[in-house]
């Protein structure tokens, strides 16, 4: 059996009330969840940088080892050429070996220079690593404090939140999917999270623009779903000023 428009509006208004209560709980937490997420992302970024520093340092150390091996190889060749130079038969052979000796000596100088450059880079990276580790330590401390603070706030409202979410799941099942999609879209675009409102004192309960009397009459009838012409929120009904005044007087007597 299909629900009447009045029943659909009542179900939407109930869902809105549950969402508003959940919003109040989340509001108490303020920006803490986002701050925790931002710190976690920041720390992940620092850890990625540290890993890159480690990878770069290992590559530089491999380069240093290779340059040192090149030096040893050049020193072996120099010793070999020096021995050959003692037994040359003519000037041409002597000159050829001399050129080889100069070439190997140049190779040694180049390798030593590159070793020095690589060691300087490692030293600089180690300095950056130490600075980054200090920052990381401070950010981790901030994160732990924020998590503790958030955990305390969440634990205080955990039961209420769980209960409201359970009630909301039940409420959603009573509303057709088309209406849920519209409701969610309006709620997402609304600053105060209100998608379903009442007409209060002749105005929209969401954007506070005046609702014409004839439109209020249509809203009261609840024969069709009517939205605010200004903000698009769904009208669940009209709260009459007389009713409101009566409630106030009743409360004042109590």
The answer to pTM > 0.85 is no
Give me the pLDDT at residue 3, please.
Answer: 78
What are 14-40's pLDDT values in tens digits? Answer: 999 999 999 999 998 888 999 999 999
Q: Report the 3 state secondary structure along the chain.
A: CCCCHHHHHHHHHHHHHHHHHHHHHHHHHCCHHHHHHHHHHHHHHHHHHHHHHHHHHHHHHHHHHHHHHHHHHHHHHHHHHHHHHCCCCCHHHHHHHHHHHHHHHHHHHHHHHHHHHHHHHHHHHHHHHHHHHHHHHHHHHHHHHHHHHHHHHHHHHHHHHHHHHHHHHHHHHCCCHHHHHHHHHHHHHCCCCCCEEEEECCEECCCCCECCHHHHHHHHHCCCCCECCCCCCEEEEEECHHHHHHHHHHHHHC
- Residue 254 in this model has a pLDDT that exceeds 50: no
Lowest mean pLDDT among 63-67, 104-108, 190-194: 190-194
What are 177-199's pLDDT values in tens digits? Answer: 999 999 999 999 998 999 999 99
Give me the pLDDT at residue 1, please.
Answer: 53
Q: Where does the pLDDT of residue 243 fall: very low under 50, low under 70, confident under 90, or very high at 90 and above?
A: very low
Give me the pLDDT at residue 191, please.
Answer: 84
What are 120-178's pLDDT values in tens digits? Answer: 999 999 999 999 999 999 999 999 999 999 999 999 899 999 999 999 999 999 999 99
Give me the pLDDT at residue 2, please.
Answer: 66
Angle, CA of 47, 51 and 129, to the nearest 5°:
75
């Amino acid at each position: 059996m299909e629900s009447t428009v009045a029943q659909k509006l009542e179900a939407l208004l109930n869902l809105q009330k549950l969402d508003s209560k959940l919003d109040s709980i989340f509001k108490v937490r303020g920006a803490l969840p986002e701050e925790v997420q931002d710190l976690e992302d920041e720390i992940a970024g620092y850890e990625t940088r540290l890993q890159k520093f480690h990878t770069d340092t290992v590559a530089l150390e491999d380069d240093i080892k290779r340059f040192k091996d090149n030096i040893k190889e050049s020193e072996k060749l120099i010793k070999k050429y020096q021995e050959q130079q003692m037994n040359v038969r003519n000037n041409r052979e002597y000159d050829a070996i001399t050129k080889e000796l100069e070439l190997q000596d140049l190779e040694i100088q180049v390798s030593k220079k590159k070793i020095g450059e690589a060691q300087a880079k490692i030293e600089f990276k180690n300095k950056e690593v130490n600075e980054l580790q200090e920052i990381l330590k401070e950010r981790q401390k901030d994160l732990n404090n924020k998590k503790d603070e958030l955990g305390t706030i969440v634990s205080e409202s955990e039961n209420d939140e769980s209960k409201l979410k359970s009630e909301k799941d039940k409420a959603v099942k009573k509303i057709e999917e088309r209406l849920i999609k519209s409701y969610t879209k309006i709620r997402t675009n609304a600053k105060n999270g209100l998608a379903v409102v009442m007409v209060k004192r002749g105005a929209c309960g969401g954007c506070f623009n005046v609702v014409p009397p004839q439109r209020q009459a249509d809203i009261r009838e609840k024969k069709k779903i009517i939205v605010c012409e200004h903000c698009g929120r769904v009208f669940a009904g009209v709260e009459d000023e007389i009713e409101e005044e009566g409630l106030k007087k009743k409360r004042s007597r109590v």
